[in-house]
Amino acid sequence: MSTRTWGARRPRRRRTTTGAAVTAAVAAAAVLLTGCGGDADKASVPEGWGTLETGSLSVGYPKSEGYAEQPAAERAKANAAVALKEEDGIRTGMVSVQLDFATGVHDAAGAAAAAGAGIGLNSTRKATDDVRLAGPEDAGEAREARRIDYDFTSDGQEDTPNRGTPMTGVLVAGVDSKGVPFVVRLNAVKDAVKAADLDAFVGSITVK
């Protein structure tokens, strides 16, 4: 895989809302916001998932689906943390975190541009969106990041699926509260990870 770091009329009657109903609605909204990680100090990590911890951020990975954290001694120097899914010796899924991966980057737009440039010629971007990550209030603009969804094909190198295998990926790029650019990726065989899990992955990030 070249796309890897493997190694948003008619008038109606007016309704009167009771105080109890308002309280319930506010509580429900708070649960939704906390669940997506957008306005929480700490992101919600789905049950059965593990967590990768780095100096700039933490992120969940689907441990219950066979992903396991890679020992520091085995991962590529460019990666601050990695979780892999291996099947019969083939890496069919990977979560990776890169820190300080680009120079002259000072905001989410710059980080996303740098990360997006590394996606590869054999890739197709599906969407680019602004996202707000979980994190402490004093993290400020560090909580603002960009998400890029894309499809690509495997190059068959470094124990990855056979050349030409359809793959899918999502990356989140930004700059932490200390000015360090980061990019977090999840790459996997296409259809092996549900869209809901990709959303949960993005929602599991807590920036520091």
Per-residue pLDDT tens digits for 126-153:
999 999 999 998 998 999 999 999 999 9
Nearest to 141 by CA among 109, 175, 110, 97: 175
Whole-number percent of the chain with pLDDT over 70: 81
What integer pLDDT is reported at residue 39 of this predicted model? 54
Residue 113 has a pLDDT of: 96
pLDDT at 17: 38
Cα 121 → chain centroid: 21
Model confidence at 26: pLDDT above 50: no
As a whole number of angstroms, the distance between CA 76 and CA 6 comes to: 7
What pTM, to 2 d.p., does this model score? 0.81
pLDDT tens-digit map of 47-89: 999 999 999 999 999 999 999 999 999 999 999 999 999 999 9
Query: For position 183, what pLDDT does the model report?
Result: 98
Burial of residue 14 (number of CB atoms within 10 Å: 0-12, 13-18, 19+)? exposed
E-strand stretches of 88-202: 90-99, 123-132, 144-153, 166-175, 181-189
